[in-house]
A and B are shown apart, each in its own frame.
Chain A
Amino acid sequence: MGIGTAIENEAQWIHQAREGSDSAFSRLVAEHQQAVRIFVRRLATVPDDANDLAQEAFVTAWANLHKLRDGVRFRTFVCGIAYRKALNDRRRFNRSGSRETEWFGLQEQFRVSTVDSKLTVQAALANLPLDQRAAVSLCIAADYSHAEAAEILGLPLGTIKSHILKGRAKLNALLGVPDDN
C-alpha cells in the first residue's frame, strides 16, 4: 500500500470514526499502535507502564477526535497526547518522592552497564530530560520529520532542533564518544 493510499484510508477512517464508527477507529488503532507504542516505550517512567500509557493515549484521542486538525496525521495526534501523559506521569512520579530511587537505580545500572552496551545506551537515553529524549526518539531513533516532532511535542521547530543537538551531545558525552557535529 502506497503512502498516498494510506493517508487517504486514514482520512476516511477518521471521518467515519468522528461519525461514531468504532470499527473505523479500531482500524486506526491497529494501523498506528506499533509507532505509538515504540515512542511511548522510550518515554515511560516505568517501562512496564508503556502499554497502559499508549492505550490511555488512544482512548483520549477517541474522546478528542474532533480536535484533530486537517493535515495532521493520526499518529502525530496520538503521540502528542501520549507525550503529555508521559509528562504528567513524570511529574507525579517526581512528586511521589521516587525521584532519588529512580536516579540511584539508573546510576547503578549505568555503572554496571559499562560492560553491557545495551544497558549503557538505554540508560544514557533515560538520563536525558524528557523533552530532549522525546525529540531524539522521534527524529533520530525513528523517522519523524522535525515538523512532525514539533507538532507532537507542542514546541517551535527551532526548539526541536536545539533539543536534538543537545540531546545528541549529551548522549555522546554519556557514552564517551566524540560528537561529530
Chain B
Amino acid sequence: MTTDLLKAILTATEPPAPPARDFTFVIAVMKRIERHRLMENLSWLFTVTVAGTALLFLIMPYITPALTTIGQSLWREVIAAATVLVSLYGLEQTRRTFGWRLF
C-alpha cells in the first residue's frame, strides 16, 4: 500500500477531528493552569510560613529582650516602617495582577 493511500485510509477511518477553534478546551486548560498556580502559591506560602515559624520559635527567646527595649523607645518608627513595607508589598502585588508598569 502506498504512503498516500495509507494516509487516506488512516485519516478517513478516524473519528471527526476536534474543531479548529474550541474555546471549551482552551478554558479547561486555563482552569487547570489556575489550579496549578494556586497549588504552587499555597505550597510556597506553606513552606515560608513553616520556615518562618520555626525560625521565630528558635530565635525569639534571644531577641525578645532587645525587641522590648527597642519597642518602648522606637514604637512609632516601627509601626511606620511596617506600614510602608506592607503598602509596598500590596502595591507590587496589585501591579503584577493588573500588569501595570511603573516606568
Contacts and interface: CB of A to CB of B under 8 A. Distances in A.
B33 A37 contact: no
B80 interface: no
Contacts of B32: 55-56, 58-59
A121 B7 CA distance: 11
A51 B25 contact: yes
A122 B11 CA distance: 10
Contacts of B22: 30, 33-34
B1 A37 contact: no
B17 A175 contact: no
Contact of A34 (B6, B17, B28, B99): B17
Task: Please classify how large the interface on chain A is, using the bins under 10, 10 to 19, 20 to 34, 35 or more.
Answer: 35 or more
Interface residues of B, number: 28
B61 interface: no
Interface in A41-55: 41-42, 51, 54-55
Main secondary structure of the interface of A (DSSP, over half): helix
Interface in A40-77: 41-42, 51, 54-56, 58-59, 62-63
Contacts of B23: 30
Nearest to B28: A55
Interface of A: 20-22, 25-26, 29-30, 33-34, 37-38, 41-42, 51, 54-56, 58-59, 62-63, 117-118, 121-122, 125, 136-137, 140-141, 168, 171-172, 175, 177-180
24 contacts: A29-B29, A30-B22, A30-B23, A33-B18, A33-B25, A33-B29, A34-B20, A38-B14, A41-B14, A51-B25, A55-B28, A58-B29, A58-B33, A59-B29, A62-B36, A63-B36, A118-B13, A121-B13, A137-B10, A140-B10, A141-B7, A172-B1, A177-B1, A178-B1
Interface of B: 1-3, 6-7, 9-11, 13-15, 17-23, 25-26, 28-30, 32-33, 36, 96, 99
- Which 9 residue pairs are nearest across A and B when measured between Cβ atoms? A141-B10, A118-B13, A121-B13, A58-B29, A37-B18, A59-B32, A177-B1, A29-B26, A30-B26
